[in-house]
Amino acid sequence: MTSSPQEAGFALEEAVAEFVVNFQYKDIDTGSMPAVKAILKDQLALQVGAVDLPWSIEARNFLDAPRPGKASVVTEHTTIAPADAAYINATYGHGFEYDDVASNGHPGCCVVPTALAVGEEVGATIGETIEAMVAGYEVFVRVGRLAAPDLVNNGWHAHAVLANFGAAAVAAKLYKLPKDKVVHALAIALSHASGTTEYTKSGGSIKRVHAGIAVRNGIESVKLAMAGITGPKKFLTGPKGFFRNFIKRDAVEADAKLAFAAGEPLRVSGTWLKPYCCCGAHHPYIDAMAARSGRVAEIEAVTARVQAMTRTLADNPQAQQNGTTNIEELQFSLALEMGLAALGKGNGYATHRAFLDGNLDIGPTSDVVDFARRITVEHAPDLDAAYPFNFVGDLRITYGDGTVEEVFMDGAKGMPNHPFTDAEHREKLNELTFGVLGEAQATALFDLIEAFDPSAPVTALTDLVKPSA
């Protein structure tokens, strides 16, 4: 085993804490600001659009006696303690496999609800709130990149683990903790980190709540540090710390030193906004099959060559062969999602709501399952070596006339190399919000974010996700 960065004389934990303390709003460059706005719009739209999902209602009912405070719950006039509000809003924001992706996790549903909830509690401006939001985003994705792809390949839900650190960083920034307290807050957050991806195989709506659990724990970690509780100083790099326990190796020293080095470009500009309500590993394959939906009757067989990350998250032979009535199995079955795309049924919000509401059959005799049975999912180690950090698609399509088409997708719609147009993103936002907030209020929300006055109180933003009457 290689020596850890801390043993080699570099304290990664100190570097992370220094980054959180020193980061300022002015460090958000003009090239990154469009991504910051897009993440904020996307996440608030997702929170609003998910309030009536079954698990959202159940998670909200679970919190029947929230603590008092100044933080808002979306679509309610209620204000409660920030950890409780962030728990609810993050659960909504991660509720339908539709939220942004980076470092194999979902930083938006971590940093946005945390920043808004704590920002309201401390009376922050929009600028101060966004400063903390971006600082937490960077901690989430930079630590996550150091652990990729092993965190996912070892069966962990990357978001459920990394969001504890991201939320702690956001809250520590807004509560203005000194560096030593930031170290302890992040170290305490490690004690909360958990959550596996077994839901991809046997379902379970608890996956939807992973975001809420993590952000609540991240905020509470900061409160514990403020109260005087301490954590292990080598929480990342120690012999029993994050890296060696969760990914069974040390971080690469050169990468660790670079991750939080002064002048390192912000990672927020590389975020990926999802066009489909399913596991991100599916998206390149969905795009490939959707482009060939006009030839679906001619397709005899498809071989999907996949990365280990995709196999871990997306290969469910039981659902592929027998269909499903389980929304988690659908959203994490590569073959079923490819079937939806090939048949022209779509892979977005409306399609998955139709399935959830019992209006779309994906049972053993359905056309989706019939097509899915033509697909072979095959692990391709060469893709792991060439693309360790991002999802790609590699397909071999055999047609009835004997011709074979080789298709390689270097990404998918919404990824940094194939971004949404503004109009495409706005269509997603409108679909999620117009029916809940009304067109006028939803439009005002997105316009306020686009105008972006950093001196305005954060409540100017949160007031627009409450009922108008």
Residue 423, in any domain of the structure: no
Same domain assignment for residues 153 and 24: yes
Residue 442, in any domain of the structure: no
Same domain assignment for residues 331 and 207: no
pLDDT over threshold 70, residue 60? yes
Residue with tokens 């959830």: 356
Whole-angstrom CA distances from 60 to 51, 73, 205, 209 are 9, 10, 14, 10
Name residue 146's amino acid: L
Q: Are 246 and 161 in contact (CB under 8 A)?
A: yes
* pTM, full prediction: 0.96
Count up the domains in the chain and report the number.
2
> Can you give the CATH number for the domain in which 398 is found?
3.30.1330.120
Same domain assignment for residues 59 and 170: yes
* Residue 202, both tokens: 């046997």
> Can you give the CATH number for the domain in which 160 is found?
1.10.4100.10
d(CA 149, CA 147): 6
Residue 69, in any domain of the structure: yes
- Could you say which of 270, 298, 315 is where a domain stops? 270
Same domain assignment for residues 262 and 287: no
Same domain assignment for residues 188 and 337: no
**pLDDT of 94-148, one tens digit each?**
999 999 999 889 999 999 999 999 999 999 999 999 999 999 999 999 999 999 9
Same domain assignment for residues 254 and 328: no
What's the domain range around 354? 280-409
Residue 455, in any domain of the structure: no
Distance of CA 197 to the CA centre of its chain: 14
Same domain assignment for residues 90 and 231: yes
**pLDDT of 206-254, one tens digit each?**
999 999 999 999 999 999 999 999 999 999 999 999 999 999 999 999 9
Residue 352, in any domain of the structure: yes
Same domain assignment for residues 260 and 306: no
Same domain assignment for residues 263 and 294: no
Residue 27, in any domain of the structure: yes
Same domain assignment for residues 233 and 166: yes
- Could you say which of 409, 436, 460 is where a domain stops? 409
**Please, which pLDDT band fits residue 10 given cuts at 50, 70 and 90?**
confident
Distance of CA 49 to the CA centre of its chain: 16
Distance of CA 397 to the CA centre of its chain: 31
- Could you say which of 387, 409, 431 is where a domain stops? 409
402 Rama sector, left if φ>0, alpha if ψ -120 to 50, beta otherwise:
left
Same domain assignment for residues 158 and 93: yes
Give the pLDDT of residue 1: 40
